[in-house]
Amino acid sequence: MLVITILLGILFSNNSYKERFWGMFLGQFNQGLSTKTIINQSPYGGHWNAAWEIFLDHKIFGVGINNFRIVSGENKYYDEKVLFSKSRQNIHPHQLYLEILSETGIFGFVTFFLFIIGSCYVGIRNYLETKSVLILSGLLFILASVFLPLPSGSFYTTYGAAIFWINYGVMISKKN
């Protein structure tokens, strides 16, 4: 309850945060817009649409790691229904699932999730043995990073990936 109170306090203390959260996020749901429409009107919509279309064209193995930046600029991935489709070309699609699907296909996606599920099993077992708060925090970070479909940095190349892998290492460690 304390965490929620602090987060709401921060949210309401800054006009920029309020506008971004209420106006750009929750406000759109209040207008009765569909999730697809909201995504297509968002700055990430162009990236996400291009990534999904790339995946549909290259389902099994994707286009290769770090090749989204090249392939997403192709004219066939332009969609006039997507507000930011002209800015679809970027170094990554800003969403973990879409990045893995577009760049490594179903093969990479299934492999990644089997790896993560096995690793989380090890992390849970390690936490139950050691009762280490660090292991628990690493595990929770990994679970939140992987299982919440939120916008993200590039999984392969950003500081976000470094933070992910540091937490991964903490999660699978056995020391207190």
Hey, which of 25-39, 125-139, 141-155 has the most confident mean pLDDT?
A: 125-139
SS (H, E, C) 35-60: HHHHHHHCCCHHHHHHHHHHHHHCCC
Across 142-153, average pLDDT: 87
Confidence of residue 26 (pLDDT cuts 50, 70, 90): low
Structure tokens at 54: 């790339």
Q: For residue 113, what pLDDT is reported?
A: 95
Confidence of residue 21 (pLDDT cuts 50, 70, 90): low
pLDDT tens-place string over residues 104-147: 999 999 999 999 999 999 999 999 999 999 999 999 999 999 99
Across 26-31, average pLDDT: 65
Structure tokens at 69: 């930046």
Distance CA 109, CA 61 (A): 9
Residue 1 class from Cβ within 10 Å (0-12 exposed, 13-18 middle, 19+ buried)? exposed
Domain ranges of the chain: 1-32, 33-172
Token look-up 């990554």 returns 92
Q: For residue 10, what pLDDT is reported?
A: 75
Residue 90 class from Cβ within 10 Å (0-12 exposed, 13-18 middle, 19+ buried)? middle
